[in-house]
Amino acid sequence: MTKSMPIFFSVNDQYAPALAVAIASLIDHADSSKSYELIVLYQELSQANQDQLATLATDNVTVRFIALDERFGDRFDNDQNKLRADYVTLTIYYRLFIADLFPEYDKAIYVDADILVRDDIAKLYDIDLMGKMMAAANDRFIATDPTLSAYSEKVLGVNPMLYVNSGVLLMDLKQFRDTKFTDKFLDLLTTYHFTLIAPDQDYINAMVKDDLYQLPMDWNIETAVLPADYFPARLVHYNLFEKPWQYQDVPFADEFWAAAKRTPYYDQLRKRLQTTTVADLDRNNQKVSLLMGTAADLTNDTQTLRSVLADIHHA
């Protein structure tokens, strides 16, 4: 069997059922001649959930769990500079630290838990990054909305048609380490404390924009803004708030529930759907409105991630 390909997830107890569906769908399409190593990063994930998720493993798809706080401590406690912020603050940026926390890997996939895999994810791993640091697909929610497009341009300095969603990433981890990306990120984070609408995603876009490979959209079909022609959809991403366990008639719902039946969480997910209230859905809509309002307000700031990075580049 070939060398395992590392595939990172990050969840808490609330998202354990969604992760189970993601894993089940990944296994459905995995190549039996290849080896997949699923690495679940967590802050709070009960032993019961770890045990249930572990039952999904197969001969060629392993599942292991790593506490983020512990790994941050192991990696950074003796590193004089690096953490001028506490672990709890930094763990929300976990994707940006994968290269440093896992020096044994030179290339990896990161995916959010709210996904449905519809093709062999090894095909994503095998994509040639063409010397770029990272590959990701355009975020249509940003690209198609005028307010969010203006935010991408003015606050981040990123063309909205090139702004990517960080829910599916193919990462050259060696290049992250070689360019000392973490040091640069920590300097920005701890010096300026920017307000951003999607912190880790926005930092990725602003800092890596010239070193990004644009993935074909079929590797991150976002259901929040479904493209008119979305086949083949190799990976479906239930981004934003319309999750199959809260909303009826979401895209690819039949496939989601078919995969859910092959997990220990099917009944729990069905109960979530049945007990979702109108008030719950209203709260989701309010969150979207708040996000849009924040994006509009931030475009008026004089000091932005865009302006600071421009000053650094010109220095």
pLDDT at position 24, please?
98
Q: Which of 28, 35, 203 is nearest to 120 (CA)?
A: 28
Q: Which residue has the tokens 């493209």?
A: 227
pLDDT at position 214, please?
97
The enclosing domain of 301 has a CATH number of 3.90.550.10
Torsion of CA 5, 6, 7, 10, to 10 degrees: 170
Q: Write down the pTM of the prediction.
A: 0.93
pLDDT at position 1, please?
45
Beta-bridge partner residues of 5: 36
Total domains, the chain: 1
pLDDT at position 304, please?
95
pLDDT at position 76, please?
63
Per-residue tens of pLDDT for the chain, all 315 residues: 458 899 999 999 999 999 999 999 999 999 999 999 999 999 899 999 999 999 999 999 999 999 987 777 766 655 544 454 555 566 678 899 999 999 999 999 999 999 999 999 999 999 999 999 999 999 999 999 999 999 999 999 999 999 999 999 999 999 999 999 998 998 898 888 889 999 899 999 999 999 999 999 999 999 988 877 767 899 999 988 889 999 988 999 999 999 999 999 999 999 999 999 999 888 888 988 999 999 999 999 999 999 999 988 776
HSE-CB of 93 using CA atoms within 13 angstroms: 24
- Structural domain boundaries, residue 88: 5-314
pLDDT at position 99, please?
95
